[in-house]
Amino acid sequence: MSSRIPGAAEAFGESSRTSGDCSRTSGDSSRTSPAPNSSGGDGQLTGRTVVVTGAGRGIGLAVVEAFLAAGAHVVAGSRERTEALDRHVKRGAELTVVELDLATPDGPNALIAEAVALHGGLDVLVNNVGAVRPRVDGFLSVTDEDWDWTFTVNLMAAVRTTRAALPHLLATGAGRVVTVSSVNGRLPDPLVIDYSAAKAALTSFCKALSKEVGPRGVRVNTVSPGPVETALWQGAGGVAATVGQSRGVDPREVARGAADQSVTGRFTRPSEVADLVLYLAGPSAANITGADFVIDGGLVESL
């Protein structure tokens, strides 16, 4: 299997079904932001408002859990309520779950509006929504509709959510945007030809935006995982299963082959990606902007 395939599916797609339903179980919803440079780990995000897209499972869920542990108010955008999110809600976490379709023009605006209405503003945006469909039949099988879908989910959802969030992030004087991209932005592969192009565009978008808004206090960075231990990669109907079926190979063999292509010989854990996202939202990364952080176990060989 190509060395470029493993990074194709790090972000779980949470971008179908639009709903106005939201559920929130938290105490005081008033905005109690700490000083602009006090956000980060070890409870220093207490009172901050964080929006996470694609939050129902995988990397998105891990990011939600990391920010909750750090004391933030978290608004989770997801196409559906998952059991994992509901467990946090039921135990009284400072978590709001908003069910909506981030692949629609109106979904991102609705998510940000909900967060601002609940908490009076916004401090951190984590763009995680994304999805991949391996193109096992080659480039000529990829239709215009396929390209539109891939770019809508993997690029335009982040563009629209960032556009809706940016006025509120600028208002804080210290807003942060962390976007989950992919090593496929650096390692284009024909099996995920449209996804690779979309992720390259996503990383480029964030780099360009960082130059515009950095002088106004907003930091914009990307995180580019390689293969991650998620159902999208390893579950039924995931990348390993799809590739395995097309090649007559056991999906477990596909996954093992992908892991073996990294220096560490394993997939990245969702919590490891979440820790990096949390770091980039915190004070230790105060002078980091416009950067792309690869977390792939050494898969990418270029400097």
Residue 87 makes CB contacts below 8 A (sequence gap 6+) with none
Of the listed 195, 205, 233, 293, which one is catalytic?
195
Residue 282 sits at φ, ψ, to 5 deg, of -105, 180
Q: What are phi and psi of 267, to 5 degrees?
A: -75, 155
Give dist(CA 160, CA 134) in Å, integer. 25
Tell me the C-alpha distance between 289 and 303, whole Å.
19
Q: What is the rounded end-to-end Cα distance, in angstroms, of the chain?
A: 23
The secondary structure of residue 269, as a DSSP letter, is: P
195 is catalytic: yes
Cα separations in angstroms, 191 against 168, 179, 233, 288:
39, 23, 14, 33
The two tokens of residue 61 are 């869920």
Q: Residues with catalytic annotation?
A: 195
